[in-house]
Structure 1
Amino acid sequence: MNFIAMDFETASGQRHSAVSLGIAVIRDNQLVDEFYSLIKPDADVTFERRNIQIHGIHPEDVVDAPTFPEVWQQIKQFYTPEQLVIAHNAPFDNGVLKASLTHYGLQPAHYLSLDTVRTSRKLYPQLPNHKLDTVSQALNIDLMHHHNALDDTVAAAQILVHEANEFGVEQIKPLVKVI
């Protein structure tokens, strides 16, 4: 399988408040490249305590970070109509990307999307839940620091590779959506 995995962390409930992004590039079921960046949100974005508790990123951590438009210039080549982009809880990450692009007046991204929460629910219904850490543990995937965007991205990528190897790509294809 060839795909891109992504994960965003946000400062608040505002979808355009991204503070970090992780991307993993998978070619022939192998991790071949990684990208991670902190992101400096707009000055009007307030960091919410709950979000900080989840990911540990504080306002002072992103003072010198690039803005979303600067990060987008580095990654936009990954978002093409024929590219599969996966995430664990993809509706959230797709929503952050869409809201950020809209907020900054950038062109919408069009790509294929797959949610590893959905694939895991379908393929591993016996699990008590389908959170990233639960699925990772069940599949013996090392999730280094949960809610670190890069670590979460790599774990999601490994989940999909594991699922494809165990069940076949044909079991996964019907869950792909066009964004």
Structure 2
Amino acid sequence: MDFVSLDFETATPQRDSPCELGITIVRDRQIVETKSWLIKPLYYPNFNHFNIAVHGIKPADVAQQPTFDQLWPEIKPYLEGQLLIAHNASFDFSVLRKTMATYNLPVPQARFACSLKFSRNIWKGLNAYDLKTLCNMHRISFLHHRAASDSHACAALTLKALDHTCTFSETEFPDKMLSRISNLN
């Protein structure tokens, strides 16, 4: 089952302020590539102190980086037509949708699922389902709150869930993963 996991970090609480995007590509149940982009957000140089405390990305780190709309032609082929998975997908896909709207770009044709949701359904009874807790449980090491590392961890966690449930295709996904695949747009 092929998919692309993704993770955004934002500069402010506004959902259209991505300052980093990480993606991890999975083909034939193998992680084949992880990429990340630093992004100069719309609100540059205004970063929220809380956001900086979470991910460590500062205005100086993105001062010479392209804006999201400038990066979009490079990013789009990784997302278009794919099954996208994020941990707490409601956040990441709201960042994507809001940012696309801000820059007047069409939302890519893609499907998505949430690893937080299917983890809750597969591994019942845990005290927490955040990415760090689940990765610790499955011995997946990563640098939390950096987009490339978080997307890689999400991909590794998804592969564990697919193996645990013996899920081999998107058609099996809803019944075996106890979670749905939705259209992004």
Asked if these proteins are the same fold (TM beyond 0.5), I'd say yes
Percent identity, please. Answer: 35
8 Å Cα contact 1:11-1:45 kept in structure 2: no
Structure 1: where are the runs of 5+ without partners?
A: none
RMSD: 1.4
After the TM superposition, which parts of structure 1 deviate over 4 Å for at least 4 consecutive aligned residues?
Answer: none
Measured in 2, the distance between the counterparts of 1:65 and 1:154 equals 22
Partner of 1:176: 181
Partner of 1:71: 71
Partner of 1:22: 22
Measured in 1, the distance between the counterparts of 2:68 and 2:11 equals 13
2:80 aligned counterpart, secondary structure: coil
1:142 aligned counterpart, secondary structure: coil
Deviations 1:74-116 (A, max 9, x none): 11013334x2000001111101111111101111222110100
Deviations 1:56-88 (A, max 9, x none): 00111100011101221111013334x200000
Of the candidates 157, 160, 166, which is equivalent to residue 164 of structure 2? 166
Measured in 2, the distance between the counterparts of 1:20 and 1:64 equals 13
Measured in 1, the distance between the counterparts of 2:32 and 2:178 equals 22
Measured in 2, the distance between the counterparts of 1:100 and 1:43 equals 12
1:85-124 matches, within 5 Å, as 85-124=84-123
8 Å Cα contact 2:23-2:34 kept in structure 1: yes
8 Å Cα contact 1:118-1:175 kept in structure 2: no
1:140 aligned counterpart, secondary structure: coil
1:21 aligned counterpart, secondary structure: strand
Q: Structure 1-normalised TM-score?
A: 0.94
8 Å Cα contact 1:4-1:23 kept in structure 2: yes
Task: Report the more deviating stretch, 41-50 or 94-103.
Answer: 41-50
Measured in 2, the distance between the counterparts of 1:77 and 1:146 equals 26
Measured in 1, the distance between the counterparts of 2:58 and 2:151 equals 21
1:147 aligned counterpart, secondary structure: coil
Q: Structure 2-normalised TM-score?
A: 0.91
8 Å Cα contact 1:6-1:21 kept in structure 2: yes
Counterpart residue type for residue 34 of structure 1: T
Measured in 2, the distance between the counterparts of 1:60 and 1:168 equals 45
CA drift at 1:44: 5.7
Measured in 1, the distance between the counterparts of 2:84 and 2:116 equals 14
Aligned length: 177
Structure 2: where are the runs of 5+ without partners?
A: none
CA drift at 1:125: 1.4
